[in-house]
Structure 1
Amino acid sequence: MKIFRLILLILHLGILFLLLGTLLNAYIPPKIFPWFNLLSLGFPILIISYIILTIFWVFSWKKRAFVFMFAGLAFINPVKRWVNYSSDKKEDGDIKMVSFNVKGGTLGKESIQNYLAAQNADVIFLQEDAGMEYPLLKGYHRTTTNGFLTILTKHKLLNNKLIYSADESIDLPSGIQADIEIKGKTYRFIDVYLHPFKFEKDMVKLNGSSDANEQKVKDVVKRLIPTFKKHQDQVGLIRESIDNSPYPVIVAGDFNSVPNSYEYYHLSEGLEDAFLTAGRGSATSFHDYKFPIRIDYVFSSKSLKAVSYVVDRSVSLSDHYPVISKISINDK
C-alpha cells in the first residue's frame, strides 16, 4: 500500500508541475518555448486528475491533502475560464452581440441567416463565412468582405480595416476591426480568427494500433507547434489594434486557442472576459470532437460590463456553437 501511495504522490506532483507550466503561458511566448502552450490543450484532463487525487488524499486522512488543496487555489481562475457560475445580472444590456464561426454555411446558409436575424443583435461577428451574402439580414451594414471575416451591424459603420500578418505563410486575415457608432458613442469591434490547425477527425482519433497512434501524436504535435508560433505574430498585430484604439474595445471571434494558452493571456490582457463576468456552466463552444474545447471568446474594455454570456447549444449549424453576449455601458 505504501508503494501504491508513493506512486500516486509522484503522479500528483507531476500533474501539479504540468499545471503550473500552463500558467507560464502568460510570460513565455511560443517562439521561445511552445511546449507550455501545448500543455494548455490538456488542462481539463490535468485538472480533473489533480482534483481526483486530492480527494483521494483527503479520504486517506493524509496531511499532504492540505498542501495540494492550497496549491490548487492557483488554478481557480484557470478553471473558471472553462466552467463558471457567475451570479445573475439584472441589467438588460446596451449592446447585444453574436459571434459565430459558420463554417462557410455548409450546414445551411438560409438557416444561419434566419438564426442571426432572429437574434436581432446590434453587432454580429462572423468567421469562416466564405464571403456569404446576407439578404435576410435587412438593415445591417457590412464590413468590406474578404471571403472569411465579416462584421455586421445595425448601427453606423464609421470605418473598417483588415488585419493581416506579415508572415507570408498566413494567407488569411488575422482579424478585422470596425469602428461603430452606437447611441452617439464610438466603439472599436475586432473580429478575430487565428490561424487554424486544419485537423480532420481521423487525424486526432486514436485506434488500436500503438504504432499508428504514436505516429498520429507526432503528426499532431508537428502541426501544433508551427501554428502556435504563427499565432504569436497574429496576437501581436491584434494587440496593436486594441492598444492603439481611441475608443472602448470589444474583441470576439474564433481564437483557435483554449483558455490558459499564450493567445488567451495576451489577447485578454487589460480586457474583461465576458464569460468570467457573466457566464454560467460550460464555455465549450467547439463540438466537433468529444472533448471540452473552448476556442470562441468575447472580451471587452473594463469601461464596459458584460451582463450575459450564453453558448447557444440549441442549434447545430456549424462545428461551433454561437456565442451570444450583452454588454452594459457603465458610463452612460
Structure 2
Amino acid sequence: MKIFRLIILILHVGILFLLLGSLLNAYVPPKIFPWFDLLSLGFPVLIILYIILTVFWVFSWKKRAFVFMLIGLPFINPVKRWVNFSTEKKESSGDIKIVSFNIKAGLMGKEEIQNYLKAQDADVILLQEDGGLEYPALKNYHRTQSNGFLTILTKHKLSNEKLIFSEDGGLPSGLQADIEINGRSYRFIDVYLYPFQFEKKMVKLNGNTEENEQKVKGVVKKLIPTFKIHQDQVKKIRTGIENSPYPVIIAGDFNSVPNSYEYYHLAEGLEDAFMTAGRGSATSFHDYKFPIRIDYVFSSKSLRATSYVVDRSVSISDHYPVIAEISLNGK
C-alpha cells in the first residue's frame, strides 16, 4: 500500500507542476517556449485528475490532502474561465446586446444563419469566417466592407474600420471599427486568430498504437507553429486596444483556450464577460467531444457585462453563438 501511495503522490506532484506550467503562459511567449501553451489545451483533464487525487488523500486521512487543497487555490480562477458556477444575483439587462459568431462561411445553412441573426436583434454583430456573405435579411444594419473573413454589423453609426494583419502579412487576424452609441464612441475589435486547421480524423485515436503516435506527432507539429503565429497576431491586436481613445470591446474566435498565452495577453486590462456574468460551461466549439472554449467577449473595465450566454439551441455552425449584454455605465 505504501508503494501505491508513493506512486500516487509522484503522479499528483507531476500533475501539479504541469498545471503550474500552464499558468506561465501569462509570462512566457510561445516563441521562447511553446510547450506551456500546449499545456493549456490539457488543462481540463489535468485539473480533474488533480481534484480526484486530492479527494483520494482526503479519504485516506492524509495531512497532505490539505497541502494539495491549499496549493490548488490559485487554480480557482483558471477553472472559472472554463466553468463558472458563481451564484451572484443576476443584474438588470445591459445597454447593448452583442452577438459573436463564427458562421463557417454559411456552409451549414446561410438562410438559417441570417434568420437567427435577425431574430437576435443585436446592437452589434461580430462574425468570423463569414466567407464574404451578403446579409439581405439585415438591411437595417451598417456593415464593414467585405473581406471574406471578418464582418461587423451594427444598428449604430460605424466609422474608422481597419483590418489588422500580423507581421507576416498573412490573413487578417482582426477587424476594428469605432461605433457611436448614444452619443459616445466605442472601439469594437472582431478577432479571428490563425486556425489550427484540424480535421476530425487527425485527432481521433484508435486501437493502433503506432498510428496514434503518428497522429499525436502530427497534431503537435501543427500546434507549435500556430502558437508562434498567434503571438504576432496578439501583438498587433493589443496595439489596437492600447491606442484606442475609446472604451474597447473585443470578441470573436481566438482559436485558443483559456489560460493560454493568447488568452492572458488579449485579456490583459480587460474584463472577461463570461467570468463576470456567465454561468455553467463556456464551451463554444462543438465539433469535437472534448470541451473547448475558444470564443470570447472582453471589454474595458469601465464597462460591465450583465449577461453572457453560449447559445446551444442552434447547430448552424461548428461553433455556438456567444451572446453578451453590456452596460455602458460601468460598475
TM range (shorter): over 0.9
- The question of 1:67 aligning with 2:76 is answered no
- 1:85 aligned partner: 85
SS of 1:246's equivalent in the other structure is coil
CA distance in 2, matches of 1:233, 1:268: 16
Map 1:10-89; keep pairs closer than 5 Å.
10-86=10-86, 87-89=88-90
- 1:310 aligned partner: 309
Q: Which amino acid aligns with 1:100?
A: F
SS of 1:289's equivalent in the other structure is coil
CA distance in 1, matches of 2:193, 2:131: 16
Question: In 2 relative to 1, CA 203–184 (structure 1 residues): closer, same or farther, beyond 3 Å?
Answer: same
- 2:135 aligned partner: 134
CA distance in 2, matches of 1:207, 1:253: 33
- Residue 85 of structure 1 and its aligned partner are, at CA, apart by 2.4
Structure 2: which 5+ residue stretches go unaligned? none
CA contact (8 A) 1:101 1:322 kept: yes
CA distance in 1, matches of 2:96, 2:141: 15
- Residue 144 of structure 1 and its aligned partner are, at CA, apart by 1.3
Equivalenced residue count is: 330
CA distance in 2, matches of 1:79, 1:23: 12
- 2:286 aligned partner: 287
- 1:112 aligned partner: 113
SS of 2:198's equivalent in the other structure is coil
CA distance in 2, matches of 1:250, 1:199: 29
- CA deviations 1:175-194 (Å, max 9, x no partner) are 00010000100000000000
Structure 1: which 5+ residue stretches go unaligned? none
Same amino acid, percent of matched pairs: 80
CA contact (8 A) 2:304 2:330 kept: no
- Residue 90 of structure 1 and its aligned partner are, at CA, apart by 2.6
CA distance in 2, matches of 1:152, 1:230: 27
CA distance in 1, matches of 2:330, 2:231: 34
- 1:98 aligned partner: 99
Misfit runs of 4+, over 3 Å: none
CA distance in 2, matches of 1:219, 1:296: 25
Map 1:253-264; keep pairs closer than 5 Å.
253-264=252-263
- CA deviations 1:181-219 (Å, max 9, x no partner) are 001000000000000000000000011110000000000
- Give the alignment's Cα RMSD to 1 decimal: 0.9
- 1:163 aligned partner: 164
CA distance in 1, matches of 2:131, 2:9: 51
- Residue 331 of structure 1 and its aligned partner are, at CA, apart by 5.5
Q: Which amino acid aligns with 1:258?
A: V
Q: Which amino acid aligns with 1:128?
A: E
Deviation larger for 137-146 or 260-269: 137-146
- CA deviations 1:237-288 (Å, max 9, x no partner) are 0000000000000000000000000000000000000000000000000000
Query: What TM-score do the two structures reach when normalised by structure 1?
Result: 0.98
CA contact (8 A) 1:88 1:278 kept: no
Q: Which amino acid aligns with 1:77?
A: N
Q: Which amino acid aligns with 2:204?
A: K
Q: Which amino acid aligns with 1:192?
A: V
- Residue 166 of structure 1 and its aligned partner are, at CA, apart by 2.2
